[in-house]
A and B are shown apart, each in its own frame.
Chain A
Amino acid sequence: MVSTSGAPPTLGLSTKSPLTEPQVRIAGARVVVSAQDAELIQRAESERYEPHEVYLLNRQAQELSLRPTFETLVAPELAHDVIPYDHQLSTVRRVLSRMRGRALLCDEVGLGKTIEAGLILLELLVRGLVRSVLILTPPGLVGQWKAEMASKFRQECVTSDEESFRSEGPEAWHRHPRIIASLALAKRDPHAAAILSRGFDLLIVDEAHHLRNRTTLAWQFVRQIRTRYCLLLTATPVQNHLEELHNLVSVLAPGQIGTLRQFRHQHLERSDPLTPRDPVRLRELLAEVMIRNRRSTSGIRFTRRYAATLRVEPSAEECALYQEVSRRVCLRYRSASGAQRLVWRGLQMALGSSPQAAASTLRALARFQSDPEPFLSLASRAERLTRPSKLNRLIEVVRSTGEKLIVFTHYRASLSAIVVALEEAGISPAVYHGQLTRRQRDAALEQFRAEAPVLVSSEAGSEGRNIQFCSSLVNFDLPWNPMRIEQRIGRISRIGQTHEVYVWNLCAAGTLEEHLLHLLEAKIHLFELVIGEIDMILGQLEEEREFEALLMDLWAQAESEQQFACSLDALAERLNAAKQAYLRARELEDRLFGDTLKA
């Protein structure tokens, strides 16, 4: 402000300037100015101010609602019971930023591909980049995906198995934004036609090794689905021929490794279909679309595991009850179908846990029977068996180990019986189950960490909790699904565990569980497998039934215990063949990809 006389200060600046919307481009990018700016300026000109505290709230909201770069992920904050490993976060970032949401996720088993895919899905949903999602899985995994999407990522998806979905006919594919379906169903018309006519923002194909063969309907169908983002999940992208890899990549990024003819010419050794001509070049090309984290490079190391079976001789009363209930279950199961079969399977499983669990299930079942008396009578017999042999053995184990122990059971009634038995034996356990409030759960884990020698726990709710200060667990009952067994072990056999892990499996002689344990432990060495490997082996079985259903079918169909044992031996052979196939594939992939494709 300079004046040459005593004139008042004038700034010489215009106070009127038209608000023009610029047609601006920066470096070729179009700039769109919000229409709301004009309204803001008008309000400022007419001095329609709001209180400063409301302005401060606006500032807070502006900052909190910011969607930063993919370096700062939002999804892990929203996921439930998930503490992502570093390699998983790196994978999510890499897929979203460098791979622009199209990737072949081929982590070694046990490294959490599903979590990676779930986090990517959630990140895209939250950022508004994705609205419609189609998840294609093998039939046996549809339910598991739905459960995981709901429990871990709070995403309600409809499945193609649901009656309501089926009743809508092919139109259902257009009506629902998030669908989980079996690939086997989706690839068939009229479903395929409906899917291909709409397209999805995100497509996830689990167990994508089913797309290794380009002559299959599955490959041709998936290849045609219109989708912006696409994730193919498999731990075994190659098994018999390198062309399988080409087929998978072609679904995701056609031409990334050339046409099939070019690929054969440039990358295949004629003498050996599993040896690339120039492995370094092939890996370079694959690195743009494929991630394969390995345990050796992701820093995940598990301490050794030891398992022991504690075979318990049941009392005569226990034996009689077991046989009587089993006989009835077997008869009913053979003549039942669908959901009814689930009910009888549930009773047999409860019987394998404890008389108390059986009693509870029998009483529940009695309510739906025209003649409830036999059920109530059996329930009463079961309730009189207050101290089954397994409980006595459990107390011996607790006393003899002197280490902190987690005792897992699937049933609340068994859990209560265990707690009572322990307390009567002068052992004060911490108790953890799904019905506790968060505070009660925190308190239970703190009690276990600080003073209680035993934590009696149901399977629910403890995922994602740090309980690695304990290195021993007892399976009071044995889940029929090996993956559930693995999940229990995974609670303590995980990152942060510094001690060797001990697993005791309690089972009563002469029960279905004894046979199952023999199959899992002696035949396929379940307890020595790395977390996730059993999943792979079961996946190779080419069996549409869930493992529990398969087991129950074999048991119910057998005319004698010996025949059941023979059926299980045959199943063991199939499992071992599946295991060998998996091991061969793993070895091949280690040789092909090495450590070069990690996130």
Chain B
Amino acid sequence: MDTDQRSRLEAFVEAYAQTLGGVAERDAEGDLQLLDPVSGTLRLLVFEPEGLTERPEAELVAPGAAALEEFLTHARGRGRLSTVCLEVPEVPDRLVQASVFRTLRVPDAEIQMAQPHRVAAEYAICLFRVAFVSDVREEALLEVVVDRSTGRFIRRWDELQAAGRLFEGPLRDPPLPGLGVRATYEMARAEVLRNLASHVTQRQRTLMEWKQRETLRLTRYHEELGEELTERAEKERNDARRQALLARLEANRLEAKRAAQDLETRSALSVELECASLLLVQVPKALVTCHVEHPKRGWQAHVDLLWNLAARATEAVDCPGCGQPGFELVLRREGLACPRCTKSAMGK
């Protein structure tokens, strides 16, 4: 086991003990003694197989070893759902307003902005565990982040998270309304399935090619062998020997059937999908209400924009007509719309 891997496992077992109410301590030999938080028993753990030779009473913690599998299974059954707030540095209102002013474009209109006020949007960090199962099993983790207030996918959650600090505590800002948990989950799951399509297609293609090759090989083999045996049985004058050949012929037929069934099972691919965990993160945003007015024609409208304090950027606004997000709106008598909707309406 390389040093990094060993450190990761040691860190995990220590976190396991600490988080779930057990105790992990080094003994005089440098091995880990664990007061198991689940069973309440004292267990001696070593991280190298060699350690077992010296201390046969110890349990090995290594990938695939029983003790580690037990800890992992238990830890995976806990902590699947949690909620935290993202704390980010404050940004003065005037900077928020200036940023919004620079970003939002409403040609021929005058924009007036109200004082920004803080709100909290909820991001859902959905971690999916995917297993590709055929005669082998391969697993992957896929994370999908949904901004429940906008219904949009967040692509660079790691960067946003790094801009602040996650803490557990009461919500400081009024929450924005958003997608329900089920709708969020379904949206995330649909995204995962979209992302999986190419992986599955690739695996399926490989499996099918293999299956075709194998089927061809086995069919040819059994057919050819069957013909050989039939031919020999027909020519055979000795009854006992002919019966033996016929028995082999029957065995060949059964083997062909069994091989085909086996191949069918081995080449069937399925995908197991599980939402392994869900973290709901309150992300601070500034809500900026803009009053938009056409100075000559007197048309007016309001638009609410969100300025993301973690991303330090204005978020695109949905067009009320088509729902497409963008930063440019056109003011007409009927209200605001994106340039494409406006153009389309003018064409009618």
Report, as a range, how many residues of chain B touch the other chain. Answer: 35 or more
Cα separation A454 to B193 with both chains bound (whole Å):
64
Q: Is the CB of B278 within 8 A of A60?
A: no
**Cross-chain contact of A19 among B137, B182, B197, B270 (Cβ < 8 A):** B182
**Cross-chain contact of A255 among B137, B222, B275 (Cβ < 8 A):** B222
| B303 contacts A by Cβ under 8 Å | yes
Q: A154-B60, A228-B135, A258-B221 are in contact. Are A45 and B182 (CB under 8 A)?
A: yes
B interface, over-half SS: mixed
Q: Is the CB of A3 within 8 A of B81?
A: no
Q: Is the CB of B83 within 8 A of A49?
A: yes
| B309 contacts A by Cβ under 8 Å | no
**Contact bitstring A46-67, B, C-beta under 8 A = 1, else 0:** 0111111111111111111111
Within 8 A of A (CB), among B301-316: 301-306
Task: Please give, as numbers and ranges, the residues of chain B lying within 8 Å of A37 by CB-CB distance.
Answer: 185, 189, 274-275
Q: Is the CB of A77 within 8 A of B1?
A: yes
Question: B139, B151, B166: which has the most chain A beta carbons within 10 Å?
Answer: B139
Q: A77-B5, A129-B136 are in contact. Are A4 and B335 (CB under 8 A)?
A: yes
**Contact bitstring B246-276, A, C-beta under 8 A = 1, else 0:** 0000000001001100100010011111111
Task: Please give, as numbers and ranges, the residues of chain A lying within 8 Å of B131 by CB-CB distance.
Answer: 67
| A369 contacts B by Cβ under 8 Å | no
Q: Is the CB of A65 within 8 A of B76?
A: yes
Cα separation A569 to B222 with both chains bound (whole Å):
51
**Contact bitstring B53-70, A, C-beta under 8 A = 1, else 0:** 110000010111100110
Cα separation A41 to B81 with both chains bound (whole Å):
9
Cα separation A226 to B210 with both chains bound (whole Å):
20
Name the CB-closest residue of A to B179: A13
**Cross-chain contact of B72 among A45, A65, A74, A100 (Cβ < 8 A):** A65
Name the CB-closest residue of B to A98: B210
| A144 contacts B by Cβ under 8 Å | no
Q: Is the CB of A261 within 8 A of B182?
A: no
Q: A11-B149, A78-B49 are in contact. Are A54 and B19 (CB under 8 A)?
A: yes
Name the CB-closest residue of B to A128: B137
Q: Is the CB of A56 within 8 A of B270?
A: no
| A126 contacts B by Cβ under 8 Å | yes
Q: Report B218 CB to chain A, min CB distance, Å.
A: 6
Name the CB-closest residue of A to B229: A259
| A79 contacts B by Cβ under 8 Å | yes
| A30 contacts B by Cβ under 8 Å | yes
Q: Report A97 CB to chain B, min CB distance, Å.
A: 8
Binds B, one of A21-29, A320-328, A516-524: A21-29
Q: Is the CB of A68 within 8 A of B136?
A: no
Q: Is the CB of A438 within 8 A of B50?
A: yes
Cα separation A258 to B319 with both chains bound (whole Å):
67
Q: A1-B304, A15-B178, A74-B63 are in contact. Are A461 and B75 (CB under 8 A)?
A: no
Q: Is the CB of A43 within 8 A of B81?
A: yes
Within 8 A of B (CB), among A114-144: 122, 125-129
Task: Please give, as numbers and ranges, the residues of chain B lying within 8 Å of A101 by CB-CB distance.
Answer: 135
Q: Is the CB of A32 within 8 A of B271?
A: yes
**Cross-chain contact of B183 among A13, A36, A47, A128 (Cβ < 8 A):** A13
Q: A19-B186, A49-B83, A65-B76 are in contact. Are A9 and B304 (CB under 8 A)?
A: yes
Q: Could you pull out 17 A-B pairs where Cβ atoms are within 8 angstroms? A: A15-B177, A16-B183, A26-B196, A37-B185, A54-B20, A57-B12, A61-B72, A65-B76, A77-B62, A78-B64, A129-B137, A255-B221, A258-B221, A259-B228, A438-B48, A438-B50, A439-B29
